[in-house]
């Protein structure tokens, strides 16, 4: 097991299950919770970027979107 969280244990000979549990919580579960918390933010940014590309492409092509349809994209 690799301890990427830099959880420090003073005595290396006392590698108890509790120490392993702390390292797993720090390395896996905390990262998992962080990703879950930010997943919706990343998804919203992707949607916003996609909408921006859509509208930008219409502007550069000289196309016009009626106001009723444009409101549905916002």
pLDDT digits (tens, 9 = 90+) for 15-71: 677 777 877 777 788 888 888 888 877 777 767 777 666 666 666 555 555 556 655
pLDDT given at position 29: 82
- Judge whether residue 14 has pLDDT over 60: yes
DSSP 5: T
Contacts of residues 40-47 at CB distance under 8 Å and 24 or more positions apart, as own/partner, are none
pLDDT given at position 43: 76
Split at pLDDT 50, 70, 90, the class of 5 is low
pLDDT given at position 1: 41
Return the number of other C-beta atoms located less than 10 Å from residue 37's C-beta: 9
For the chain, give every domain's residue range: 17-73
With a CB cutoff of 8 Å and minimum separation 6, the contacts of 55 are 65, 73
């Amino acid at each position: 097991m690799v301890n990427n969280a830099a959880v420090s244990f003073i005595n290396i000979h006392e590698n108890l299950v509790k120490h392993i549990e702390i390292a797993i919580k720090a390395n896996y579960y905390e990262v998992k919770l962080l990703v879950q918390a930010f997943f919706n933010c990343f998804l919203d940014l992707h949607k916003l970027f996609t909408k921006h590309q859509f509208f930008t492409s219409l502007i550069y092509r000289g196309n016009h979107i009626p106001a009723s349809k444009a409101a549905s994209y916002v």
